[in-house]
Structure 1
Amino acid sequence: MSYITCKNVSFAYENQIVVSGLDFQVNAGDYLCIIGENGTGKTTLIKGLLGLKKPAGGEIVTGDGLKATQIGYVPQQDAVQKDFPASVYEVVLSGCLNSRGMKPGFGAAEKKRAVDNMELLKIGDLKNKSFQDLSGGQRQRVLLARSLCATKRLLLLDEPITGLDPVATEEFYAMLDDLNGNHDITIIMVSHDIREAVEHADHILHLSHGGYFFGTTQDYGKSGFGKKFLGGLADA
């Protein structure tokens, strides 16, 4: 059953329609990359999938028992996040807040989850370091670990590799491949790097001012969008 189904969905930004007529679905185990030119509504769509923004038209339906509180989210990094005065452990543990509901503090189960996710992403040795003292790649690992504390099912990531050096970028993609392939985490990621998206994802949603494409990575390579933006790689 589909985790998320978008039916003729439209979104507006500053009273201007930026996304219209979207029909697509995300099933358990999918790895979907959302790509496209600037201003085509990629981040707006992510906010809609998170329930932070209402569609201007159509509907977004969640299925298979998925709740909004069970979606892990890795936002774009900004200056505020970089200067956040907390330890790595505190940042990761904060991902358990939704599961606590109205209960104060964190229990043993949440603390174990935070430690386990830090170990999974190989940042256990950073536990007591200040988040603001980390490199860009380390910060993204911490934010990913935090998001895993919120979910075992679905991750949404908004351009998580922006600002990372090539080595950190490849390491981050490898982590996502592992989470998707070996830990059954469904992934929806906004990316500005079309070639990396095609290499790692199994589905592509390409937003454009003149329409959109949704389908498998293989079909994207054969499509007009794929041939235009991938060039010779689409025929490889």
Structure 2
Amino acid sequence: MCICALRILLHGLNFSVDTGDYLCIVGENGSGKSTLMKTILGLQPPINGKVMTGDGLRLNDIGYLPQQTVVQKDFPASVREVVISGCLGRCGLRPFYNSKEKQLAQKMMERMGIGDLSRRCYRELSGGQQQRVLLARALCATQKILLLDEPFAGLDPKVTYELYRLIDELNHREGITVIMISHDVTTAIEHASHILHIGKTVFFGTKEEYVESGAWLMFNSAEGGGES
């Protein structure tokens, strides 16, 4: 695969994700991590190559949690309205949500521990609460695969730990495939089953193979954290 933004960022990239995998994408600043995720989602086309899906997976079967902008964090809607909007892909031409979708939204809010916040305004929530809302929204869109772009950026360690625990449960107990962009290589190794490292060098394999390769040590010494 060859992907681009205003210039070629990655060339000759080839990797696969199986059902139930937990893949963390890591790499230096500007290496193309977010661009790669947008390409996987079909938000922009690759210059060459293709993204292939199996097991009948469609793009609207993917739950996506993007990085939030300042404007998005100030969105003036209720928690329930944000969460149930994840069901839009199920509605087809219907201009309303049916009872199943309303029940699903309530179930996802409770699963994320925000059931009591359903009537609260989204922009009044803490960063950690907002991420739980967005996870609930993504789970309304899919029970198959989640794509998460730096979901812990700007959060304190306690909240980050709690969100990692939630994502681990979704992956390990419910078999939901996870693809996550992270700048925290050490924690990525702790939680992921596979690592895709992109940058001057490209690595794809299990986390055990990644540790053995020593690539993560070079990354840690050269990178102080940051966005893709």
TM over 0.5: yes
Preserved contact between residue 33 and residue 197 of structure 1 (Cα < 8 Å): yes
Q: Which residue in the other structure is 2:114 paired with?
A: 123
Secondary structure of 2:146's counterpart equals strand
Identify the structure with the greater strand proportion.
1
Mapped pair 1:151 → 2:142: yes
Preserved contact between residue 185 and residue 216 of structure 2 (Cα < 8 Å): no
Q: Which residue in the other structure is 1:21 paired with?
A: 12
- Describe how 1:72-151 pairs up with structure 2 within 5 A: 72-151=63-142
1:153-181 deviations in Å (ceiling 9; x for gaps): 00000000001011110011000000001
TM-score when normalising by structure 1: 0.92
Note the C-alpha offset of 1:12. 1.1
Higher relative contact order (CA 8 A, sep 6+): 2
Secondary structure of 1:160's counterpart equals coil
Runs of 4+ displaced beyond 6 Å: none
- Describe how 1:49-60 pairs up with structure 2 within 5 A: 49-60=40-51
Preserved contact between residue 221 and residue 230 of structure 1 (Cα < 8 Å): no
Mapped pair 1:162 → 2:153: yes
Q: Which residue in the other structure is 1:190 paired with?
A: 181
Q: Any gaps of 5 or more consecutive residues in structure 1?
A: 1-8, 232-236
Note the C-alpha offset of 1:90. 0.4
Aligned positions, number: 221
Aligned residue identity for 1:199: E
CA-based RMSD of the aligned residues comes to 1.0
Question: Matched residues in 2 for 1:119 and 1:13: separation?
Answer: 38
Q: Any gaps of 5 or more consecutive residues in structure 2?
A: 222-228
1:37-66 deviations in Å (ceiling 9; x for gaps): 110000000000101110011111111100
1:72-100 deviations in Å (ceiling 9; x for gaps): 00000111111100000000000000111
- Describe how 1:172-191 pairs up with structure 2 within 5 A: 172-191=163-182
Question: Matched residues in 2 for 1:138 and 1:224: separation?
Answer: 36
Taking only the aligned residue pairs, the percentage that are identical comes to: 53
Aligned residue identity for 1:150: A
Secondary structure of 2:14's counterpart equals strand
